[in-house]
Structure 1
Amino acid sequence: MENRYNKISTLEVALSYINDGTTLMFGGFGGIGSPPTLIEGLLNKGVKDLTVIGNDTGFPNIGIGRLVSRGHARKCIVSHIGSNPIAGQLMTEGKLEIEFSPQGTLAERIRAGGVGLGGILVDVGIDNDIVSHGKKRIIVDDKEYLLETPLTADVSIVYAKKADTFGNLVYDKSARNMNPLVAMAGKFTIAEVDEIVPLSELDPEEIITPGIYVDMIIKSKGVNWKWVWE
């Protein structure tokens, strides 16, 4: 019988959950905190028509930008694409659909998806036609809000510094950006980690993402800086 307290697997098995047309949510900010081994594996597998959800489109050769810049994504739901000029070019050419969401709103939409809320009410962008277009307006106590829908994904991929075999996760500094929220919002969550320790070895005060949200753990090969300068 499968040991539900040992979620360690391989890159090959993890990649079998991500195929053409998958909605993929990723952690990190500007590439920091995005899982490099999983992203490299997806490039090698050649998956296409992905819908990717996360803070941004990274840089052309860093983070999720490696997939976006090479045309593996059909749509991105992000807060900005300014650090990846190739994403901007693809959007302008009509080859990449972009759905923008203000950064705080995006984070809350992901959190709402993770905890099972039906949506969130915000006043950010209520007077902006681009932000508010097509969204329901709801009045609470005489104040008007936009209804923002929750975000979930077929698969979430996150990057952590350390995990135990159950999937309790510890993050490294700013690599914590978005990862805890993303881990909650995937129907299947894969954690790429630098170090795996036995169950009960982590300090409970260090744990940010409880293992209940993590379905699979793989060991990271780290960042190959050759990718960045390709």
Structure 2
Amino acid sequence: MKTVSLESAVAMIPDGASVMIGGFMGVGTPECLMDELARQGKRDLTVIANDSATPGCGIGKLIDAGVVGRLVASHIGLNPQTQKKMIEGEIAVELVPQGTLIERIRAAGCGLGGVLTPTGVGTTVEEGKTRLDVDGRDYLLETALAADFALVQAMMSDYQGNLVYALTARNFNPVIAMAAKTVIANVEHIVPVGVIAPDHVVTPAVLVDYLIAHR
């Protein structure tokens, strides 16, 4: 694990990369990374996240700035900008049921090829997918979902990169940290090794590649 500046961390993300971002309507989203992605003018990113938040908040900042070329999310209902850009063809949007989305990500993190779910059987969600019968019940095969980068927000880290989250701000952050090639974590507090008890660690340091060093 290395400690890097915000600017250097975002500079590592090339145009066209796939990026998982933690958060639920902006809660648990690394806002400083959103700001810097917009400032550096990144383009054509595939963003994988629960939602696109709202205009001017969280991932909504990336939508506003034209950073996102494709969005894989469970809903966009609270961001009219995302809806507008989807309708106008500026952003490709893949809507995935929330439970299915997180399980696809979890599968990638665990080295699985995918998961079986009854969600979407007999609906438009089924189009182009494999249906399997297991003990007389139909399931869809949903393939694993990985990314080039995961951007996570944590409450605390030690100097090795072990992460602890704050209440519901934890949400999808631990799962996406398992499913990306490179994990960049923004934390509110960096403490000496030993301050965080081993059984309080949620994301172990072995999964974290970079910590953001704030001035």
TMscore range, shorter length: over 0.9
Report the counterpart of residue 109 of structure 1 in structure 2: 104
Query: Could you tell me how far apart the structure 2 residues matched to 1:139 and 1:66 are?
Result: 43
CA contact (8 A) 1:195 1:219 kept: no
Report the counterpart of residue 227 of structure 1 in structure 2: none
1:17 to 9, 12, 18: 12
CA contact (8 A) 1:193 1:220 kept: no
Report the counterpart of residue 172 of structure 1 in structure 2: 166
Query: Could you tell me how far apart the structure 1 residues matched to 2:214 and 2:180 are?
Result: 20
Report the counterpart of residue 188 of structure 1 in structure 2: 182
List gaps (5 residues or longer) in structure 1.
Answer: 1-5, 222-230
Query: Could you tell me how far apart the structure 2 residues matched to 1:22 and 1:90 are?
Result: 20
Which one-letter code corresponds to 1:103 in the other structure? Q
Instruction: Kindly tell me the number of residue pairs found equivalent between the two proteins.
Output: 215
Which one-letter code corresponds to 1:111 in the other structure? R
Query: Could you tell me how far apart the structure 2 residues matched to 1:114 and 1:17 are?
Result: 22
* TM-score for both structures, normalised by structure 2: 0.96
Query: Could you tell me how far apart the structure 1 residues matched to 2:164 and 2:63 are?
Result: 27
Across the aligned residues of Structure 1 and Structure 2, the Cα RMSD in angstroms comes to 1.2
- Equivalent pairs: percent with the same residue? 47
Query: Could you tell me how far apart the structure 1 residues matched to 2:133 and 2:158 are?
Result: 46
Which one-letter code corresponds to 2:160 in the other structure? F
Which one-letter code corresponds to 2:185 in the other structure? A
CA contact (8 A) 1:194 1:220 kept: no
Report the counterpart of residue 224 of structure 1 in structure 2: none
Query: Could you tell me how far apart the structure 2 residues matched to 1:195 and 1:179 are?
Result: 17
Does 1:163 pair with 2:186?
Answer: no
SS in 1 for 2:94: strand
Report the counterpart of residue 3 of structure 1 in structure 2: none
List gaps (5 residues or longer) in structure 2.
Answer: none
Does 1:35 pair with 2:40?
Answer: no
CA contact (8 A) 1:57 1:64 kept: yes
CA contact (8 A) 2:155 2:165 kept: yes
Does 1:132 pair with 2:123?
Answer: no
Which one-letter code corresponds to 2:3 in the other structure? I
CA contact (8 A) 2:46 2:68 kept: yes
Bigger drift between 195-204 and 160-169 goes to 195-204
Bigger drift between 100-109 and 211-220 goes to 211-220
* TM-score for both structures, normalised by structure 1: 0.90
Query: Could you tell me how far apart the structure 2 residues matched to 1:92 and 1:164 are?
Result: 44
Shift of 1:220: 5.5
Report the counterpart of residue 198 of structure 2 in structure 1: 204
Query: Could you tell me how far apart the structure 2 residues matched to 1:187 and 1:81 are?
Result: 26
Does 1:150 pair with 2:135?
Answer: no
